[in-house]
Amino acid sequence: MPGRLLALCLAFGLMPCAALAHAAEQGFVLLLPTDVYITAGVSAFVLTVILVALMPARASLRLFRVTWLPRIGGGRLRLVTSLIATVLFFALVAIGLAGPYDPLSNLLPLTVWVVFWIGFLGLHALVGNLWPWIDPWAGLCALIFRDGAPPVRLPEWIGVWPAILFFGLFVSFSIADPVPMDPERLSMMALGYWGLTFAGMALFGEDRWRRSGEFFSVLFYLLSLVSPLRLGAQAGLGFPGWAAVRSPGVSTGGALFCLVILGSGSFDGLNETFWWLNRIGVNPLDFQGRSSILWETVGGFVGTILLLIAVFYACVLTGCRLAGDGGPSVRLAFRRLALSTLPIALGFHVAHYLTTGLIDGQYFVAALTDPFASGADYLGFGEVRVYVGFLRDSDTVRLIWLGQATVIVLAHVIAVLIANAMARDMFPTAGKARRAELPLSLFMVAYTLFGLWLLAAARGA
């Protein structure tokens, strides 16, 4: 039954129809002397890499010291907030089905793509894992299911592969589907995933399926390892990434999930550029819509993920070979160092969606006070006028681009600091650690250049 439900959702999601707006669009084409900014950004990062490599091992590890905090909030409070989130989820689905057809007036797509995917995900870079507080299954499962063995035992070897699969399908839907913001379409997809996840928890156990198949739980847990603040049982405050440095590593599947997150954000920006459209034989000035390049987009997405995994693994393997004997296995190094890519993924996410958030966030406020586009003002906000004039001002656009570039560079700096601390912890001497992290440092320099170029690239999709 879960397989049939997933097939039905995918079949519905790929049905052709008229194209609508999507929250992922950048919003403007940058016409600034970006060569200077890109050179400065990459040079600053290269200098940081050199200084970090010369940093004493004790100073590198001391940077990630943590101040432990008392636990905030208990299990019962989370169950209450989860039940509230469940009610809000079904209310949003109802609005998606019965509300206005315009996706920029309907609360469901604006909440999913702007508040949740842009804002809530980005918030994990600051305040840790908030997902357990709004998990729309936990409270309901606590009321329905009792203690006891689940009907079906999920084999341990499956790991997080179901979560990787569902995350890949979710990203494919967001970047390849012709109308990912269509309210009715999105309602069906959301209901399908909610029902599939609930069925998985009923069959395999709530906690087991959450760790293996519910991709939001895995995604937000991994991203929270980068946050300076962590709540929950091991609450603490420290330099961004302290939890990742202290982690013994994740499973091989978890490490691959980290790289899928990074590759997803990278290709989400790349597939809109003139460069990519030219690669797949599309005239950027005569773009016929997403439906015309659906399979090229999916193929490019999968290819990007596979290439990124291969390059990253080659960097780790080369680093371990350069370090010589006495260090960890390549597999252990891969499982730990993959966590160092998470700041880069978050940096790409924030930079890529900054303009969209500034614009579509205003549409969300308007829809919040008038959810059925009837002219109501339930929250007393008054008439909400969406202002996009700042995109026509060169000074403001320059400020936005510099902010995005700063986020990209800082994210890579944090990533190289995390990788350096991990290498110092895994390898017996400073010399071995430096040799081990050299290929990975070159990889991050190249990714910094790619990220800054991506911000300035002309877009046609």
Q: How far is CA 253 from the centre of its chain?
A: 17
Q: What confidence score (pLDDT) does residue 73 get? A: 62
Concatenated DSSP letters for 328-342? Answer: --HHHHHHHHGGGGH
pTM (two decimals): 0.89
Digit-coded pLDDT (tens) for 101-150: 999 999 999 999 999 999 999 998 888 899 999 999 999 998 888 766 78
| Average pLDDT of span 406-421 | 92
Residues 336, 73: Cα–Cα separation, whole Å: 30
Residue 105 is assigned to a structural domain of this protein: yes
68: which strand partners? 236
In 150-305, the DSSP E strands lie at 229-230, 236-238
Q: Tell me which residue of 293, 226, 302 sits closest to 263, measured CA to CA.
A: 302
Summary mean pLDDT of the chain: 87
Is the pLDDT assigned to residue 1 strictly greater than 60? no
Is the pLDDT assigned to residue 214 strictly greater than 50? yes
Digit-coded pLDDT (tens) for 225-259: 999 998 777 788 999 999 999 988 899 999 999 99
The pLDDT-based confidence of 338 (bands split at 50, 70, 90) is: very high
Q: What confidence score (pLDDT) does residue 21 get? A: 39
Q: Tell me which residue of 266, 254, 265, 414 sits closest to 334, measured CA to CA.
A: 254
Q: What confidence score (pLDDT) does residue 207 get? A: 92
Residue 461 is assigned to a structural domain of this protein: no
Structure tokens at 99: 């509300």
Digit-coded pLDDT (tens) for 7-44: 433 333 333 333 333 443 444 444 456 666 677 777 77
| Average pLDDT of span 433-444 | 92
The pLDDT-based confidence of 348 (bands split at 50, 70, 90) is: very high
Top-confidence residue, 458 or 322: 322
Residue 240 is assigned to a structural domain of this protein: yes
Q: What confidence score (pLDDT) does residue 393 get? A: 79
Helix (H, G, I), strand (E, B) or coil at 250: coil
Q: Tell me which residue of 171, 263, 169, 185 sits closest to 18, measured CA to CA.
A: 185
Q: What confidence score (pLDDT) does residue 263 get? A: 96
Q: How many angstroms separate the Cα of 303 from the Cα of each of 165, 181, 299, 439?
A: 15, 25, 6, 22
Enclosing H/E stretch for 67: strand 66-68
Residues 447, 307: Cα–Cα separation, whole Å: 13
Is the pLDDT assigned to residue 64 strictly greater than 50? yes
Q: How many domains does the chain have?
A: 1
Q: What confidence score (pLDDT) does residue 53 get? A: 78
Task: Find the radius of gyration of the CA atoms of the chain.
Answer: 22
Concatenated DSSP letters for 101-151? Answer: S-TTT-HHHHIIIIIIIIIIHHHHHHH---HHHH-TTHHHHHHH--SS--S
Domain of 399?
Answer: 2-456
Burial of 336: CB neighbours in 10 Å, binned 0-12, 13-18, 19+ = buried
Of the given ranges (52-61, 138-147, 164-173, 360-369), which has the lowest mean pLDDT? 52-61
Top-confidence residue, 392 or 118: 118
Residue 437 is assigned to a structural domain of this protein: yes
Top-confidence residue, 40 or 360: 360
Residue 227 is assigned to a structural domain of this protein: yes
Q: How far is CA 94 from the centre of its chain?
A: 26
Percent of the chain exceeding pLDDT 90 equals 58
Of the given ranges (51-60, 129-138, 265-274), which has the lowest mean pLDDT? 51-60
Q: How many angstroms separate the Cα of 28 from the Cα of each of 21, 32, 135, 272?
A: 14, 12, 35, 12
The pLDDT-based confidence of 365 (bands split at 50, 70, 90) is: very high
Of the given ranges (99-108, 140-149, 156-165, 188-197), which has the lowest mean pLDDT? 140-149
Is the pLDDT assigned to residue 356 strictly greater than 80? yes
Top-confidence residue, 90 or 31: 90
Residues 110, 359: Cα–Cα separation, whole Å: 11
In sequence order, the 6+-apart residues with CB closer than 8 A to the CB of 169 are 10
Digit-coded pLDDT (tens) for 312-328: 999 999 999 999 888 89
Is the pLDDT assigned to residue 350 strictly greater than 50? yes
Residue 186 is assigned to a structural domain of this protein: yes
